[in-house]
Chain A
């Protein structure tokens, strides 16, 4: 399996598509540092001690924060690494050549998946460290250990999240014979979860729990919770919910109650453990999605006939 892992990793890191996407993400990293630093300069007393985390969550004047950017475009990178992993081997005719070597069949798909994960991990980690480094230059003071721990945790969650999309790409590459179809399916799924589900969630919520001019607070709450319920089918939403408490220590959850009371309650930061607790269900959900997706790809691949005609 190690052989396959290293070969695939080398392929990924040397490929053009990886280069282009990394370039985009790099630009975004620069932007997010800029935004974060701007926010810090404008009113340093609001930022307090978590300036570094701010680098990842500040959105301003139409430019998204690094967090939402990763939630939105990260999947594209991950899916692109996986969508032609298996079916391109079939079209190239390398399947029977590789599988007639003395390796177990699952070593192949496992090696491919791990190589994809390693690539994603490397990318995310290096970008986060880059933002860190740039932040060090711009802010002029080092991060404290708490911030550092939160960021490492963030990287782990991000890798799990991107792992889901990689597994999805891999699954499509097993299910579809043509790389074009698997690419289309992957992009369609991506658009569905990143854009359409957000629209649909609003529509469903308004249908099931309409808000009128005379709506009470509980109606609003019901509307919001229906919306959240629908949204939680999307790994994108799960990722955002899981990472917000990690990156924003004062964050106390998505519920309307928390939103309404935010102004009245003391906004003291929570401890890392408490923050993690808020996003825990979402994190487990993500992990489950990733595993299920990979497991299905694995099973289908193991049962697939090598014969192509």
Chain B
């Protein structure tokens, strides 16, 4: 963690109780300026609660929060001026047009007329809804609403954008587009982004840093590379193995482990430089190499490892 970067979000020991359930149980969270931070976790792990606390929309039962240097519970307006929020199930006034919905947001933010119009036009352009500006939101598809939601955040020109499940319920292609849009905007506008999701592979591609939440606690945090790094080595999947080959592989000094996957397939983990040796052995024993890649864990694997306990 580069300590020189100013912290835009600092939360310590957050706890939040809803009736008899602890939604958050001692959460620590720091987000640096200018990064895309991915808040990961299964449903009900406390992502939305964390976000609501950061926005001052709900108060933590215990713990301290600073967002852009303000306490959201004490100075909600200061925080809300600086933070843009896209809720998980974003809703619009159906009978109003996209433009009018955004206009409402600009006037709630006290943005003067000419500036507001300029920003709305710009934001709609950026999310690709320029042609739909005058159509009522009732006619919008789910993906379009999500884009409008992003425009909604953009018109505020926030320092920090918090996007709660921005890709939920959208087809994979649309989700990729939205994530690309988020990354692009982050680069153009230079805002910090916190984005929550339960879909890991998506987050993996855009986030600088991720935190994995489980049962209201942060169970792992770091850059995607840090979390997926597992000490080097290669991972190979071999098909058509014989017991003889298995025995041979197990005997070699460059193998780290051999695991039977069933049906003659084995997963071999070997040292970085032993690629040639493995291929040699496979050719001699007439087995097929199905997959060979650097041994990193996908977030999926990490996810499963944490949540299986």
A-B contact count (CB 8 A): 67
Residues from chain B with Cβ under 8 Å of A102 in the complex: 77, 80-81, 108-110
For B76, what are the chain A residues with a Cβ–Cβ distance below 8 Å? 104
Which chain B residue has the least Cβ–Cβ distance from A14?
A: B95
Q: Does A104 contact B77, Cβ atoms closer than 8 Å?
A: yes
A202 smallest CB distance to B (angstroms)? 46
User: B80: which of A3, A94, A101 is its contact (CB, 8 Å)?
Assistant: A101
Q: Is B94 an interface residue (CB 8 A)?
A: yes
A46 in the interface (beta carbon within 8 A)? no
| B57 x A96 contact (CB < 8 A) | yes
- What is the CA–CA distance of A11 and B93 in the complex, to the nearest angstrom? 10
B52 in contact with A307 (CB, 8 Å): yes
Q: Does B219 contact A (CB under 8 A)?
A: no
State the interface size on chain B (CB cutoff 8 A): 30
| Residue B32 interfacial (CB < 8 Å) | no
B91 interface neighbour in A3, A11, A93, A100, Cβ under 8 Å: A93
Within 8 A of B (CB), among A84-121: 89, 92-104
A103–B84 alpha-carbon span in the complex (Å): 13
- Which of chain A's residues have a CB closer than 8 A to the CB of B80? 100-103
A50-92: which residues lie under 8 A (CB-CB) from chain B? Answer: 89, 92
* B108 lies within 8 A of A101 (CB): yes
Residue in B58, B94, B156 whose beta carbon sits within 8 Å of that of A306 in the complex: B58
Partner of B57, one of A4, A11, A100: A100
B contact residues around A306 at 8 Å (CB): 52, 57-58
Contact of A305 with B by CB under 8 A: yes
Provide the residues of chain A in CB contact with B152, threshold 8 Å: 97
Contacts A102-B108, A307-B48; is A97 near B57 (CB within 8 Å)? Answer: no
Contact with B along A279-309 (1 / 0, CB 8 A): 0000000000000000000000000011101
Which B residues are CB-close (under 8 A) to A41?
none
Chain A residues whose CB sits within 8 angstroms of the CB of B18 once the complex forms: 305, 307
B149 to chain A, nearest CB (A): 8
**B55 and A94 form a contact (CB under 8 A):** no
- Across-interface contacts of A309 in B (CB, < 8 A): 48
Whether A262 sits at the interface, judged by CB under 8 Å, is: no
Which B50-85 residues have C-beta < 8 A from chain A?
Answer: 52, 55, 57-58, 76-77, 80-81, 83-85
Contacts A/B (CB < 8 Å), 29 sampled:
A3-B107, A11-B93, A89-B91, A92-B93, A93-B89, A93-B90, A93-B91, A94-B91, A94-B93, A95-B91, A97-B85, A97-B92, A97-B105, A97-B149, A100-B83, A100-B87, A101-B80, A102-B77, A102-B81, A102-B110, A103-B77, A103-B108, A306-B52, A306-B57, A306-B58, A307-B18, A307-B48, A307-B49, A307-B58
